[in-house]
Structure 1
Amino acid sequence: MRIRATVAAVSGALALSAFAVPAAQATDSATSHRDGAEKVWQAAHTTSSSSGKAAFTAATETAGTPYAIDVTFSNFKIGSSYSVGISNHVAIPVSYTLTHGADVDITASDFETDPYIYKGSYDDPTNILFGDLAATCTPSTSTTATCKGNIDVYPAYGDLMNADAGSWSAGAEAIDWNGQDPDSATYDESKVGYADQGGLATTSVKRYSKLTVNASPEPVYKGKTLTATGKLTRANWETNAYAGYGSQAVKLQFMKAGTTTWTTIKTITGDVYGNLKTTTIANYDGYWRFSFAGTSTTPAANAASDYVDVK
């Protein structure tokens, strides 16, 4: 089973809604880990904060709320952009430095740390994504460690809405379970140590795009009109299908046979359904394609080239 964290404000607190998906997408251990990580994250974020750290301190600890531990995060590294289709699992690798106090044993079997990304503000995110498994940490000194992990995205099972495309922020958390089992009926969250920090980096999650081209007639006589048609589509995360990306600027490009350089012939704008059509004059044997530069929510795409013989 797999749990997807959808974050919403409810009665002044953040609540997580979840749904199950086939076990083939994630192991039970991954689900168990993710469930626990999200459960503690929710408890720590029941009070908003603008500090970039979870809104709880030793002075405000109450029953059922995790207590603060001396852990901070820095040197967070994540790729600048990731393209997500409609069915592919995307694992986003990250690394970061974890710094901890002498009283925090990061080598304990029940200590975990996780990277995550969130859409919107740290205080009130609209979506948050964790990894299937906890990060692995290698101690550098007695109080620092280098940690590596993944953030796992499953678009086919509701991880993303179309409005999620674009910029995301990154954070990390640390959990000292202290022998507590979040799945147990006797689970006591007040005995769990926790640290959380947002605003560590930014990345983009984009709707994967596709582009096609067909140049005709084939062959064509020299000096005659060649018509290029095609379509620009992108992933719709809400319908799990590709849909036309309309009214976008797309370049018609040509590469003469025997060369390796693409030349832009003209720039056109697709219709509201993403359909493309234009004409040009054919003078040489070669390859034709459409090329899309991309936007803040959709990555660049090049159509597979179409060779045309000129008589």
Structure 2
Amino acid sequence: MSFLVLLLVLWVEKFSGWRRRIQHDGPWLHLLTRMEANAVAAPWSRLVVLVLLPVVALGLLLLLLQPLAHGWLALPVHLLVLIYSLGRGDVLAALGPFRDAWRRGDSQAAYHVAERDLGLVADEGGVLLYRVQGYLLWQGYQSFFAVIFWYALLGPMAALAYRLLALTCEYAQQPALHERALQVRHALDWLPVRVLATSFALVGNFMAVTRVVLHELLNWDISAARLVEKAGRASDDLPEPEPGEAGVASLDALWQLLVRAAVLWYAAFALWTLLV
């Protein structure tokens, strides 16, 4: 059933607008506000309420549905949870204004839209394009690959836990809660980001990725964003950042790299399903 759900998620992403209707964070954000207003609760206690309790509730629901109709009633729950657990927004749409400005060679407009739409700031054009490339790779990883990895490995509860942790990292205002969420998320990112880096080597420049990433694979301290950025750039042999069409082409190349890696993952999941 898990592989069927993964296929249905692709169909939903491609042919429907369900994702925008399903991904409503309002009730959870209200809970986050209440937990941060509770001065008595410790940061770990808040994190348990924000992440663990919804995951446990989902587990109980799946446990109740499992005996019914040979477990098939759980399929829509799996699908809804997985769609909800994907990243927020459309990465390509967010990059659109920057791509247009960079293609025209309009540096001022590129700086403006990068700060407005992507939250990126840089002192010079080459650094800005590097950061936008890293943004694309990181968003592709955390929006899709990390969620798919944990769903395929441990099911919808793990996928939901990852997204709730990501939301806590993004929206938590209290430093202690934010720090705890980052620590747990770093642990959850450690394995999937290395699998993705290995995938980049298989669908891109194997030797270049090996040279750049191999000595970092067991490094606990390197962030997931930094590792996926280094592996992605190495696998596509990107040239030095340039204004105009060449810079936009580098973003297209990285997107195609993510697409090839996704195809590889789905092929591996399909093979695993057949063998198991």
TM-score by length of 2: 0.27
Higher relative contact order by CA 8 Å / sep ≥ 6: 1 or 2?
Answer: 2
TM-score by length of 1: 0.25
